[in-house]
């Protein structure tokens, strides 16, 4: 099992629950019910964790248009200022394919 600090920021009220629910799937497909339970938790993922979950949240949102997942993804990325070091770090782990997927589905 991966250490939570690899993909989750420590010290939030959600960290323990997110680790419990996402750890079994690290690096794999995340089941829809897990994403649905944590649809508003993108900010708790580290840059490495965000690179793993963001494309899957987008895919989930496309398959479940009545879910709020798409709204949370848009909200999370809408403040992305690529000249800001915080956002450079947040988006640095995303592969070119993941970035294309975000653009295509966004």
What pLDDT is stored for residue 1 in this prediction?
45
94 confidence band (pLDDT: 50, 70, 90):
confident
Q: What local confidence, expressed as pLDDT, does residue 92 receive?
A: 82
Dist. CA 87–CA 79, nearest whole Å: 9
Domain that holds residue 70: 4-105
User: For the chain, how many structural domains are there in total?
Assistant: 1
Look over the chain and give the mean of its residue pLDDT values, rounded to a whole number: 85
pLDDT tens-digit series, residues 29-43? 999 999 999 999 999
pLDDT for residue 19: 93
Helix H, strand E, coil C: the string for 47-84 is: HHHHHHHHHHHHHHHHHCCCCCHHHHHHHHHHCCCCCC
Least confident of 23-27, 40-44, 54-58, 97-101: 97-101
Q: What is the mean pLDDT of residues 2-16?
A: 83
- Report d(CA 46, CA 44) in Å as an integer: 7
The pTM of the full predicted model, rounded to 2 decimals, is 0.81
Backbone angles phi, psi at 8, to 5 degrees: -135, 140
* pLDDT at 85 exceeding the cut of 90: no
């Amino acid at each position: 099992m991966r250490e939570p600090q690899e993909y989750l920021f420590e010290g939030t009220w959600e960290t323990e629950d997110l680790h419990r629910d996402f750890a079994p799937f690290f690096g794999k497909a995340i089941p829809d019910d897990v994403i649905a339970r944590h649809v508003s938790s993108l900010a708790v993922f580290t840059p490495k964790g965000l690179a793993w979950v963001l494309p899957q949240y987008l895919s989930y949102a496309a398959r479940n248009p009545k879910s709020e997942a798409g709204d949370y993804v848009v909200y999370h990325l809408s403040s992305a200022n690529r000249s800001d070091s915080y956002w450079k770090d947040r988006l640095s782990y995303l592969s070119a394919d993941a970035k294309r997927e975000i653009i295509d589905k966004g």
